């Protein structure tokens, strides 16, 4: 069968070619379809970036308008899918609720099962973009015992999501333009990141010709892991623990460096970025602006800044090229917007969705795609005979 290369964690293995996202980890560069992340964060919108990632180029005004309108028209969930939320325990984490509901979409849209039906792929794209934020908001509402509102199609995707998450049936919901803008920017920063763990999962599942809903559902489950998207929730839990226990950031750093109980500085380090994470740079500025205006938890921000300052000057972190990543400051911003910790990774999922869709579509059209099937080095028992009994 030929020689097998041993590469645990796929540190050096390119499993695909891709024209979507470019990363230079040494230089701290991130581009979607050639456009620098800094320019997109400043001038574009999440909807436009989604179009760019999925279809390859920036939309014209008319194309963006049509994309927006199509998404608005597909926000409603099947009423039977809504009853699905009642089956979960009240304190369920919204991430597995989200992945289950996304998986269940293929039971409602059975024509979507053929990944080579281009019309259906297009419909699944719009349905996912429209419905995933609604499912996410419902998972949150369910966990706090509040009514599930119907989407309001006079609002765009981000506005609708905020209203469904925080609005009440008896009161008009006032959008805060600062929150809308900040959330939009954070979603842009999360929209794609080439072959990360969840995206590779989406591609691997899709390589078996599984449909888009099944593949994205698998990606959501991968993102839930605390070493991946779950890190934003883990950062806030870490900051709270430091605050509650009255530990000095310096003492916490000692624990991290001594690898006591496997403690890591959550929100630090990245497989690819070894200089800085360009997304973290943009988010840090947003964190100061938002927390200044919305009145976030100053003490937690203070602890985060102290940890960052200490880490950047510490030999342990310098030697290992560990810098704050995208997740280090996002939790503090989400918290200031009013989201509970359990929703943080869900927000990451909403942001990453257009990336997963774009990568799945690229994979399914790529003539080089083969079913993903890594090899192994067997280290188990030699042949042995079942004992005569």
Distance between CA 190 and CA 181 in Å, rounded?
15
Distance between CA 44 and CA 8 in Å, rounded?
38
Distance between CA 362 and CA 58 in Å, rounded?
17
Give the sign of the dihedral formed by CA 200, CA 223, CA 106, CA 71. Answer: negative
CB of 331 to ligand CMC, least distance (A): 11
3-class SS letters over 132-157? HHHHHHHHHHHHCCCCCCCCCCCCCH
Q: Is 93 a catalytic residue?
A: no
CB of 242 to ligand CMC, least distance (A): 14
Q: Site mask, ligand CMC, residues 96-125, x = CB under 6 A?
A: ------------------------------
Q: Is 325 in the site for ligand CMC (CB under 6 A)?
A: yes
Token output for 370: 């083969």
| Beta carbon nearer to ligand CMC, 192 or 327 | 327
Count CA atoms within 13 Å of residue 141 on its CB side. 23
Residue 133 makes CB contacts below 8 A (sequence gap 6+) with 157, 158, 160, 161, 164, 350
Residue 120 makes CB contacts below 8 A (sequence gap 6+) with 109, 111, 112, 114
Q: Is 269 in the site for ligand CMC (CB under 6 A)?
A: yes
Q: Which of 48, 308, 327, 362 binds ligand CMC (CB under 6 A)?
A: 327
Q: Is 270 a catalytic residue?
A: yes
| Beta carbon nearer to ligand CMC, 51 or 339 | 339
Q: Is 233 in the site for ligand CMC (CB under 6 A)?
A: no
- Binding region for ligand CMC (CB under 6 A) out of 44-52, 172-180, 324-332, 353-361: 324-332
| Beta carbon nearer to ligand CMC, 194 or 366 | 194
Q: Site mask, ligand CMC, residues 246-265, x = CB under 6 A?
A: ----------x-------xx
Tell me which residue has its CB nearest to ligand CMC: 269
Which residues are designated catalytic? Answer: 270, 327
Would you tell me which residues interact with ligand CMC (CB under 6 A)? Answer: 9, 196, 227-229, 231, 256, 264-271, 320, 322, 325-327
């Amino acid at each position: 069968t030929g020689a097998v290369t041993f590469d645990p964690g796929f540190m050096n293995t390119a499993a695909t070619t891709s024209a979507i996202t470019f990363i230079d980890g040494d230089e701290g560069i991130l581009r979607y379809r050639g456009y620098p992340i800094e320019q997109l964060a400043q001038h574009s919108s999440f909807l436009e970036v989604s179009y760019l990632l999925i279809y390859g180029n920036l939309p014209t005004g008319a194309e963006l308008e049509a994309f927006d309108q199509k998404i608005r028209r597909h926000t409603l969930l099947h009423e039977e899918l809504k009853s699905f939320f009642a089956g979960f325990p009240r304190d369920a984490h919204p991430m597995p609720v989200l992945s289950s509901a996304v998986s269940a979409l293929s039971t409602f849209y059975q024509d979507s099962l053929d990944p080579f039906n281009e019309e259906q792929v297009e419909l699944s794209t719009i349905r996912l973009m429209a419905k995933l934020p609604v499912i996410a908001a419902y998972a949150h509402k369910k966990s706090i015992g509040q009514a599930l509102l119907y989407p309001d199609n006079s609002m765009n995707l981000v506005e609708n999501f905020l209203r469904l998450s925080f609005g009440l049936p008896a009161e008009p919901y006032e959008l805060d333009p600062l929150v809308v803008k900040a959330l939009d920017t954070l979603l842009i920063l999360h929209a794609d990141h080439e072959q990360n763990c969840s995206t590779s999962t989406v591609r691997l599942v899709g390589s078996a010709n599984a449909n888009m809903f099944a593949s994205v559902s698998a990606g959501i489950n991968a993102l839930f892991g605390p070493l991946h998207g779950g890190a934003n929730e883990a950062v806030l839990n870490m900051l709270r623990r430091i605050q509650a226990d009255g530990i000095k950031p310096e003492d916490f750093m000692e624990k991290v460096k001594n690898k006591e109980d496997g403690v890591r500085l959550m929100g630090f380090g990245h497989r690819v970025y070894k200089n800085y994470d360009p997304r973290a740079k943009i988010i840090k500025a947003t964190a100061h602006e938002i927390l200044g205006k919305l009145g976030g938890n100053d003490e937690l921000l203070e602890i985060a800044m102290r940890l960052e300052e200490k880490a950047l000057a510490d030999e342990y972190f310098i030697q290992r090229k560990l810098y704050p990543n995208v997740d280090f400051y996002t939790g503090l911003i989400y918290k200031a917007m009013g989201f509970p910790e359990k929703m943080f990774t869900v927000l990451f999922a909403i942001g990453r969705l257009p990336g997963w869709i774009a990568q799945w579509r690229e994979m399914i059209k790529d003539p080089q795609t083969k079913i993903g099937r890594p090899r192994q080095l067997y280290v188990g028992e030699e042949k042995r005979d079942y004992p005569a009994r």
